[in-house]
Structure 1
């Protein structure tokens, strides 16, 4: 697995017995990777910034659990490859995490189209998130999904700013019912730096 890779191919997929041998050590490795790629905003919104390693592991976990064989492999590659940053963007899984199901349902009904109200500001230059368009994440009744997949396209200026390691990166949500922002830590910024093309 390498952060330089931008695509997972069939040749990258281990057999179930091969994956079983490294599953525990891979999960331990991912703890550190995911820690520096996790960003909380407000009381219950969390962003998990994805890369090759997180998607490689996700695909293998799905194959390990579901045992769908060759057909499933192609489906998982098609589903998760788009979530690997292409070198000029950041990609995040955005989750609304509320344990109580009644409160969660009520909140999701109040956050319709929140996926269109998310942005990243790098030294003051704003990049609006682009949601994956595989399915509508907000229903006709105005209830949003608890999970969204977002792309943050970056300009050349933003990319250079991140590479200089002195920039301020703000992640924000400006929905009328959830207006919060947070500054990414140095560890967050260093982790995301590996997602950019040289």
Structure 2
């Protein structure tokens, strides 16, 4: 699995000077990693580059420069990086209106456990949600969830050979029968699963 270490991160002063260019590069890259499943549900597929950006921003906002504290951020965020046999994503339930959001999140309690991914005609893979902490209660779900889809070797081989991936939801309040991930995003996910591909760090993005 591709990972991050302290040596991959820029010190605060260096990042502050380069942030404008980095942010512009990252926003272009991020478009290749987000997928709108329906009007209110969006996936952000995570990899080394997206996680590096999140860590750099966290260090900047919190003004973290001590080695131990930086390592704590690395330990918290690097588990989000997709591996050779899994795809990881941040799930966002987006309801701009506060009152509507409260109602919809209450109606969708447990939705994170009903999300699935399917490679071609293989069996559906159910999401493993929020391994760091529980983000739902009996009264409502959270608007943000962290998901892992664990794939078999055969599924990975099929994706690398050109198979499509679809995503869906089986929750009674928000069913989605299955939507195929667009080719541009699929190419990025194939690179996540291919251990022969060495993804660049954010500094190296064009």
Q: Same fold (TM over 0.5)?
A: yes
TM (norm. structure 1) is 0.92
What corresponds to 1:120 in structure 2?
117
Render the CA deviation track for 1:99-128: whole Å, top value 9, x for unaligned. 001100111111111110011011122211
Q: Does 1:151 align with 2:145?
A: no
Following the alignment from structure 1 to structure 2, what is the Cα–Cα distance between the partners of residues 30 and 154? 27
In the TM superposition, what is the alpha-carbon distance from 1:68 to its structure 2 partner? 2.9
Q: Does 1:18 align with 2:18?
A: no
Q: Residue 148 of structure 1: SS of its match in structure 2?
A: strand
Q: CA RMSD for the aligned pairs? A: 1.3
Render the CA deviation track for 1:124-161: whole Å, top value 9, x for unaligned. 2221111132211211x331010000011111111111
Q: Residue 89 of structure 2: SS of its match in structure 1?
A: strand
What corresponds to 2:51 in structure 1?
55
Q: Does 1:76 align with 2:73?
A: yes
* From 86, 104, 107, the counterpart of 1:107: 104
In the TM superposition, what is the alpha-carbon distance from 1:43 to its structure 2 partner? 1.6
Following the alignment from structure 1 to structure 2, what is the Cα–Cα distance between the partners of residues 120 and 26? 31
What corresponds to 1:187 in structure 2?
184
Query: 1:113, 1:142 within 8 Å by CA — same for their partners in 2?
Result: no
Please list every run of at least 4 consecutive aligned residues from structure 1 whose deviation after the TM superposition is greater than 2 angstroms: none
Following the alignment from structure 1 to structure 2, what is the Cα–Cα distance between the partners of residues 124 and 40? 22
Following the alignment from structure 1 to structure 2, what is the Cα–Cα distance between the partners of residues 101 and 183? 30
For structure 2, list consecutive stretches of 5 or more residues without a partner in the other structure: 197-206
What corresponds to 1:32 in structure 2?
28
Render the CA deviation track for 1:66-86: whole Å, top value 9, x for unaligned. 113324312211111100012
Query: 2:11, 2:65 within 8 Å by CA — same for their partners in 1?
Result: no
